[in-house]
Structure 1
Amino acid sequence: MSEECLIAKIVYLSNKGSEVTQQTLAEELKMSQQTISRKLRELEERSLIKRSLSKEGEVIRVTENGEKLLEECLSVLKTAIMTSHLLIIRGRVISGLGEGRLFLTMPYYVESFKKFLGFEPYPGTLNLAIYDRESLENRLALDTSKSINIPEYREQNRVLGGVRAFPASINGLRPAAVVFPLRSVHPKSIIEVISPYHLRKELNLNDGDEVTVEAYA
């Protein structure tokens, strides 16, 4: 989860009138208290939140710097959505070869997606086979559409290929993104979707199930 998403959740809970504690955040976000504690410590070090003690435990509040960061993030997202057009792609869930899991455990890609898409992806892609003409035409339209570009990265013994990404939703679930690794061997009729969620589990999907992806291009 990105810093902006965590700050947004703190603001949301605060606006509901409840005191925001580490335990509340862990329960709301279905994350371990150890993970929440580490992320809160990082936010506090960046002066994006303040933590204080009360009879309810440790109370968390967003600082002025945190609110400013969130406003900047929302402004960027609003601009991106207003200047984008929506392409709808329908597909059936298929099993992949496991390459997505390897790809999404590499630190370079994980950090790049956090930076450019605003979320840390679940280590694995959801593969979809396009089954109708209109969806295939929309998929092909992405080839000439403006994308978020993850540049190629050269390590000592290998080159990590670039990736084109499009913010998206899948069956209404956000955040997500359609990704096209530039070295992919997939045909045009196959797309890969990433998300901070385990999509098969979150959406109760099995091979053959039909889903709808809305991609912003």
Structure 2
Amino acid sequence: MKIDGEVTTGLGKAAFFLSQDFYTKEFEKNLGFVPYPGTLNIVVDEQHLDEINKIKDECENLIKPDAEFGAVKFIEAVLNDKIRGAIVFPAKTTHEENYLEFISECKLRDELDLNDGDIVNVEF
């Protein structure tokens, strides 16, 4: 699946979670990289929600919760045909359904010179 979406500012909570050893070790083991402590938030058109929810529901890649943190599903993805990373689906989130959170080993806004409102594509 390949979809376009609009870059938007998140809530800033991902930086805390992605800096926790529990998550960084699991992402490194499963994806081969330690994620930059933050996500690129991408708002997609609601017409894609059924497909995205199906992928999320069928996703078997799971970081199980520990005593303090929630579970996270993830699926490998590519941003703008060049940046390898993953879409993460945290069990505990305050985002609307049409928000995707993309992780990679670099700070994507700097790497791709992205600003709020820019259009990106994600393939997963």
TM-score of Structure 1 vs Structure 2, range by shorter chain = over 0.9
TM-aligned CA deviation for residue 132 of structure 1: 5.4
Tell me the distance in 2 between the aligned counterparts of 1:194 and 1:147. 18
> Which residue, 96, 106, 109 being the options, matches 2:23?
109
TM-score (norm 1): 0.55
1:130 aligns with 2:54: no
TM-score (norm 2): 0.93
SS at match of 1:124: coil
Which residue in the other structure is 1:188 paired with? Answer: 97
1:102 is aligned with what amino acid? F
TM-aligned CA deviation for residue 114 of structure 1: 0.3
Which residue in the other structure is 1:149 paired with? Answer: 62
Q: Indicate the RMSD between aligned Cα atoms, in angstroms.
A: 1.3
> Which residue, 97, 119, 122 being the options, matches 1:210?
119
SS at match of 2:101: strand
1:167 is aligned with what amino acid? E
Alignment of 1:53-72 (within 5 A): none
Residues 195 and 168 (structure 1), Cα distance of their counterparts in 2 relative to 1, 3 Å cut:
same
Determine which structure has the larger helix proportion and give its number: 1
Give the conservation status (yes or no) of the 8 Å contact 2:56–2:89.
no
SS at match of 1:140: helix
Residues 172 and 213 (structure 1), Cα distance of their counterparts in 2 relative to 1, 3 Å cut:
same
Residues 98 and 164 (structure 1), Cα distance of their counterparts in 2 relative to 1, 3 Å cut:
same
Tell me the distance in 2 between the aligned counterparts of 1:147 and 1:202. 30
Q: How many residues align?
A: 124
Which residue in the other structure is 1:140 paired with? Answer: 53
Alignment of 1:158-169 (within 5 A): 159-169=68-78
Which residue in the other structure is 1:94 paired with? Answer: 8
SS at match of 1:207: coil
Which residue in the other structure is 2:87 paired with? Answer: 178
1:143 is aligned with what amino acid? K
Alignment of 1:7-86 (within 5 A): none
SS at match of 2:58: coil
